[in-house]
Chains A and B, each alone.
Chain A
Amino acid sequence: MGWMALAILAGLLVYFQVSISEPAAKKRAVFKTFIGIIATFLLFMAIANYKNNFYGENRLLPVSLVMITVTTFVMALYFTNLSALLKIGGLMFFVAAFLSGYGNWLPQVEGGFPPVEEKKTWDSMTPQQLADEGEKIIFGGVGKNKEQGAIGKGQCPLCHAFHAGMLGERAPNLAGLPGRGKERLEDPKYSKGNPSKREYEVKEAFPGSGTAENGQEYIAESHACPSCYVVAGYGVKGTNDKQSPMPSIHKPPISLSLAELAAVDTWMYLREGIDAPSFEEIVKSYEKFIPEADRPKQADEKPAGATSLMADGTEPIDQIFAKGQCISCHTIPGIPGAVGTIGPKLEEGTTAPQRIKDPTYKGTAKSPAEYIMESIVDPSAYVVKPFPDNTMPKVFGQKLSAGALKKIVDYLSQVKTGAPPPKI
């Protein structure tokens, strides 16, 4: 189509050459058509650029607009009777080009496709479908279980490792769990059938619930009442393994429903090549340890928008610490429940400036605030002695919103050794 317009203009060029005899007028006419040809050329180039790159990641689209702007101004110079219109048009193209360019210059965020989410009918799923759901809950997606840092709404990989040989510093490695459950029942410390003999902080999931009788019930009890039995070496430090750092999974902030827990368990069986108990059996095992009133309702689940953040930054600071599970591992003065001992005590108002000055510090932070941020998003940049490296998950940069991170940094930088904790 562009060629036709060009051809007409070229034809006009020839026509003027032939028809106009007066040299001055001829020169002017030729000049005008020449300008016209250039302008048309620019215009069509701009349109072609626009058309070809409409869907692409190409950020040069506004260049088209700039070209059109130039075109209109050039034309305005020579077509004086339309010059106001052309100049106005040119200015508008320029403004639009500027704003488009600005939009393209900013970081490009695309809200991915929504999760395919038909109403889940848990009880009619095949074991494999159920296991896939379980994998999604644990790791955030099917087939992600070997990915470093993959984490779903269950948040299990924050503490547990799932494959043999992987590090399990904070919590037992869960490889081979279905078989191990039965062994644990025989542990004298478990005190099967006689919960009152237990030496743990909590004797029973709820009064009268009793202890597990089979492997699946053991798993269910561990989820519902982590402190009913603590694997040696994984208790909260200083309690002599009497208390577990793990939260009850059916309670906030994780709040998995019974059906979701069943899906998680099904995955645990199936990945080992073991036939899982039926959905009903698993749910039943959980009903034994979770009283009716404590069971989260499936219907309350809301689609969580395009991102899956642990905390979006609108919560009060103590909830951010709870939702991020920081409190499982760290002691944070002023935050209720934050008595973890797996990581260092967080008194960054005092410790951060010291650590930046530490000769072994290799990070990039220049200020305490930067240091705290770095410690959260890149925990290995500096590892506080005597704690081992690679214990803290490296996923918090993706799992906490900037607002939440900022609140954490603001709070922690106000915590000083020996001073009363800041107000929440």
Chain B
Amino acid sequence: MGLLAGKRVFSIMALCMMVGLLLLPIVVALPSLAIGEEAPAGDAAKKDGDKVEKGRDVYYKTEGIVVGAPAPKTVDGPRDYPRYNFESRVLLWFANQQHLYYGSFVLAVPIFCMIIEFMGVVTKDKALAKRYDQLAYDFIKISLTAYSLTAILGGILIFTFLTLYPAFFSYLSGIFRPVMHIYALMFVAESGTLYIYYYGWDKMKEGFLKWIHLSMSVILNIIGTLLMFLANSWIGFMMSPAGVDEQGRYLGNIWHVIHTALWNPLNLHRILGNMAFGGGVVAAYAAYKFLASKTDEDRAHYDWMGYIAMALGVAFLIPLPFAGYWLMREVYAYRQQMGITLMGGLLAWLFIIQATMIGILFLSTNYYLWQAMGRMRGAEKYQRYIKYLVFILACGYMVFITPHTMVMTPAELKAMGGQQHPVLGNYGVMSAKNGGINVIITTTVLSFVWYMRGNKVSTVSWAKFGNIFMGIFFACAYFNIIFLAVYGYYIPANVRVGLSVPQVATTLSCLFFMFALNSVMMKGAKQLGPIEWGKISARSQYALIMLATAFTWMMGLMGYIRSSVRLFWHVNEIMRDNSPWAYTHTVGFAANMISFNVLFFWITILFVFWLGSLGAKKVPVESKAGIPSGVPQPAASH
């Protein structure tokens, strides 16, 4: 056993070293690229002072030697903006969004695989371990087809850039030249690792090899995450350029170009977003398989798979707003004007849509959990209370989505210049709306608690007190949130803002304390009945699909917001967009476009799923045919 453990540690160390060696050239190359251009430049500057032109970094404010060409001043015409008889920007939007959907899906799924495979390895229950392992394998199988589609879409995206925005793309690739090559090399590494990981699954099933396999998933994810970071550096540069001077001339420090003001917040936000999105897509896949399956066994498996995927997705959804808050804060710190355009100006209506979407996500989650209680024997006692939860949720949702117009009536709106006006000061930080969303989240927490204790009865000696305490704590939390919301109406807006902090604190208290208390109470609890996987209603699966679709839509929406906040800049404040499409579309057009993207993604991915099911149908037939025919054959030969 000790030997085995030693071997495991050794194998992981060896693999890490291998990866380290692989990545070493890149790590070494990065600073040398930066310094290599800086060091001789420093000497040169001393030798012939005025021959070398110096520039000042727009963000880091450091001096550097100009090594790149200035950002081209484009003019509308076939040279800088060749086009079909169609809006180039919409084509690019489409290509980009599809690539991003598939990209984030294939980045997220290996992370799930890693988590689930690890759970399978560490769990003591052999049957459960096997199920986890099978689930992880299922996940990676889905992502494999999507992986090649991602690469194809990436190619389409590059061609779209090259053919429709040649001036812009050549400028960008001029600055990111080394990064783009590293990106391409890492993509090769990612593919290699993925294929070994997938095809080696059966070979590396046991003991020591399994650990190697598991550590390969870690490597896969490290490479994938780095890939995404590099790609993020490009959009980060477009939003908040650094490492170039005012004319957009590259100053020789590649790290400055990568590490822009918004790079790290974008990285975090995207990782979390990808995970939530991946969870949604896998849940939708499970729902599809559940609805299409004919046997109880299949149904049980896919029911379980959908539940796990949903739980993982929601787990990453909860910290997402905090990452978003960080990103927003950095945006304000970088350029206040940009923040205002987002939250109070041109794009603010899109945030109203986002609020609706958040509501939809939570409602679907709750609905799924209630339906999921239906497969638990013993959870019936909670069923009759659900209608009250529905009532609370509906009230919270109504308050949340109602645009608040205490001061401005429609007539006044008109007097203010109609819809052209950025009208959103009112919707900002209304304590009433905060109350609505906090009620919704608290109710979701309550639903989760009910679900977790559904078929169990606590056996701890203070069970009764625990239950009463939990009930009263929730009641007080609701009361507190609503009290603060109402209180907010009576005090002026400038001080009212402060009330949202205790409201959020109340919700988070419920989340952490009640989850903790519940799990302590349920330790070694008596089971009233088993969870009958597969006995869930079909409606719940539609809730999962709803969740996934809403996720996809929201991702498209937020991506659109992030991209269009640059307004008429290719690279913010460095390179102007002089194409005929430099204006910002209306909300309605954006919504239609997002819908189109979402539907296109889902149609293609459903097609991918369907292809997968064609392959899977053959396998059982062959294996079923193989085993019985394999057994009688020796008998016949004897």
Contact = CB atoms under 8 A, between A and B. Distances in A.
- Does A touch B (CB under 8 Å) in the complex? yes
B417 A398 contact: yes
A104 B428 CA distance: 21
A271 to B, nearest CB: 27
Interface string A85-110: 10111011101110110111011111
Contacts of B287: 88
B288 A95 contact: no
Interface stretch (A17-25, A181-189, A243-251, A373-381): A373-381
Nearest to B417: A398
A306 interface: yes
Interface in B304-340: 336-337, 340
Interface in A290-340: 302-307, 309, 312-314
Contacts of B276: none
Interface stretch (B99-107, B190-198, B212-220, B599-607): B599-607
Contact of A402 (B424, B545, B586, B603): B424
A93 B591 CA distance: 13
Contacts of B407: 369-370, 373, 405-406, 409
A62 interface: yes
A96 B557 CA distance: 12
Contact of A113 (B492, B542, B568): B568
Interface in B555-600: 564, 567-568, 573, 576-577, 582-592, 594-595, 598-599
Contacts of A306: 341, 345-346, 567, 584
Nearest to B588: A104
B337 A89 contact: no
A67 B241 CA distance: 45
Given A109-B587, A374-B412, A398-B421, A410 B344 contact: no
Contacts of B564: 111
A365 to B, nearest CB: 9
B419 interface: yes
A404 interface: yes
Contacts of B288: 84-85, 88
Contacts of A364: 409, 411
A341 interface: no
A145 interface: no
Nearest to A81: B292
Nearest to B607: A85
Contact of B422 (A87, A373, A401): A401
A118 B422 CA distance: 27
B591 A100 contact: yes
B337 A401 contact: no
Contacts of B421: 397-398, 401-402
A356 to B, nearest CB: 15
A91 to B, nearest CB: 6
Interface stretch (B119-127, B352-360, B509-517): B352-360
Nearest to A104: B588
B553 interface: yes
Contacts of A111: 346, 564, 567, 583-584
A407 interface: yes
B412 A96 contact: no
A410 B426 CA distance: 12
B493 interface: yes
A315 B625 CA distance: 76
Interface residues on B, range: 35 or more
Contact of B592 (A104, A110, A114): A104
A397 B292 contact: no
Contact of B587 (A89, A108, A374): A108
B408 A106 contact: no
B85 interface: no
A314 B138 CA distance: 51
A92 B549 contact: yes
B637 interface: no
A414 interface: yes
A402 B423 contact: yes
B390 interface: no
A88 B607 CA distance: 12
Interface string A111-150: 1111000100000000000000000000000000000000
A205 interface: no
B546 interface: yes
A65 interface: yes
Nearest to B609: A85
A59 interface: yes
Given A108-B419, A314-B336, A370-B409, A403 B425 contact: yes
A54 B550 CA distance: 23
A109 B419 contact: yes
A235 B42 CA distance: 61
Contacts of A103: 353, 587-588, 590-592, 594
Interface in B269-315: 284, 287-288, 291-292
Chain A CB within 10 A, most for which of B424, B549, B603:
B549
B428 A403 contact: yes
A61 interface: yes
B629 interface: no
Given A106-B349, A314-B340, A406 B425 contact: yes
B352 A106 contact: yes
A113 B603 CA distance: 35
Contacts of B588: 59, 61, 100, 103-104, 106, 108
A88 B422 contact: no
B591 A312 contact: no
10 contacts: A92-B599, A103-B587, A103-B592, A109-B419, A109-B586, A113-B582, A306-B346, A370-B412, A402-B424, A406-B425
Interface of A: 54-55, 59, 61-62, 65, 84-85, 87-89, 91-93, 95-97, 99-100, 102-104, 106-114, 118, 302-307, 309, 312-314, 364, 369-370, 373-374, 377-378, 397-398, 401-407, 409-410, 414
Interface of B: 73, 87, 284, 287-288, 291-292, 336-337, 340-341, 344-346, 349, 352-353, 356-357, 406-409, 411-412, 415-417, 419-426, 428, 492-494, 542, 545-546, 549-550, 553, 564, 567-568, 573, 576-577, 582-592, 594-595, 598-599, 602-603, 606, 610
In the complex, the 5 A-B pairs of residues with the closest C-beta atoms, listed nearest first: A103-B591, A403-B425, A111-B584, A402-B425, A114-B568
